Amino acid sequence: MNARLKLIGIETAAQSPIAGAAVAIVGIRKRFGTRQVLRGLTLEITAGSFVAVVGRSGCGKSTLLRLISGLEVADAGLIEVQASGKPAPQTRVMFQDARLLPWKSVFNNVALGLKPSARERARMMLAEVGLADRATDWPAQLSGGQRQRVALARALAQQPDLLLLDEPLGALDALTRIEMHALIERLWHTHGFTALLVTHDVTEAIALADRVIVIEDGTIALDIAVHLPRPRKRDVTFSALEQSILTQILNPNSQALA
C-alpha cells in the first residue's frame, strides 16, 4: 500500500478525490429459497488494495459483490465500506455485460448520473480508456472490448472509492483480455480506488491482484497474498501460485485432509 502510494506520486494522491475504501465484512449469510449461498463469510480488505475472488461457478461470488454494492441485502452479518475523510464512500459496479444504454451515445453513457458540472470528467475518462474518438458513436457500433472500456470509464467517472468488477472480461477474447488487464491495472494505479475483482480465471486473478481469495461452500477456503512485482510476468513463481490455487478449487477437501 505504501509502496504504491509512492509509485503514484504525491501530486496525484493529493488531487485525487478518490479515497480508496476499506471494506469489512463480518459473518454475512445469504440464502435464496432453500439454497444457502453464503454461510458466515468474513473478509477484510485494505484501502487501495486489489483483491480477486475466484471459485467455482455458482459458489456465490456475484452474490458477495451484490451484497457489498447494496444491490442485495444480507440475511445476517455486517458489511462496512469506509474511506478516510469521506462520510459516504462511493461504490460502483462493473458487470459482465457492459450494460450500456443502447439509446445513449458513448459519451452520454459515460456521463450517466453525473452533474452537468462534472461532464468534463466523462470526457477525460473516455480519453483515459482510449475511446475519445468514439464519443458520439452508439454502443451498438462498438466491439465487446470497447464496450467494456466504456463501462469502465463510466464507473470511474463517478470517482468510486471502491470498484466492484463482476467477471468484466468473461466474454472477451484472450488478446483483448490481456489489453484490458493492463488498462485496469494502470487505472487502478493512477486513481487509487480499492478494487474487488470477481473472476473464474485464476491467471487473471494472479496477474492483477494483491490478494486472491477462493470461495467454497459459502466461506473463504483460501486467502493468498500475491507478492509478485508488477507488471507481472508468467514465470515459475506465477505458475506455482496458479497451480496451488487451482488445486484448491478443483479438490475442495485437499487442505482439510492435509
Ligand X SMILES: Nc1ncnc2c1ncn2[C@@H]1O[C@H](COP(=O)(O)OP(=O)(O)O)[C@@H](O)[C@H]1O
Chain residues in the site for Mg ion (CB under 5 A): 62
The reply to whether 37 sits near ligand X by the rule CB under 6 A is yes
How far apart are CB 231 and another protein at their closest, in Å? Answer: 30
How far apart are CB 57 and ligand X at their closest, in Å? Answer: 4
How far apart are CB 163 and Mg ion at their closest, in Å? Answer: 16
How far apart are CB 236 and another protein at their closest, in Å? Answer: 41
When CB distances are held under 5 to 8 angstroms depending on the partner's kind, the choice from ligand X, another protein, Mg ion, none that residue 179 binds is none
| Contact pattern for ligand X over residues 55 through 84, marking x by CB under 6 A | x-xxxxxxx---------------------
Dist. CA 52–CA 194, nearest whole Å = 11
How far apart are CB 86 and Mg ion at their closest, in Å? Answer: 29
The reply to whether 119 sits near another protein by the rule CB under 8 A is no
The reply to whether 79 sits near another protein by the rule CB under 8 A is no
Note the residues at the interface with another protein (CB under 8 A).
Answer: 69-71, 92-93, 95, 97, 99, 101-104, 112-113, 138-141, 154, 158
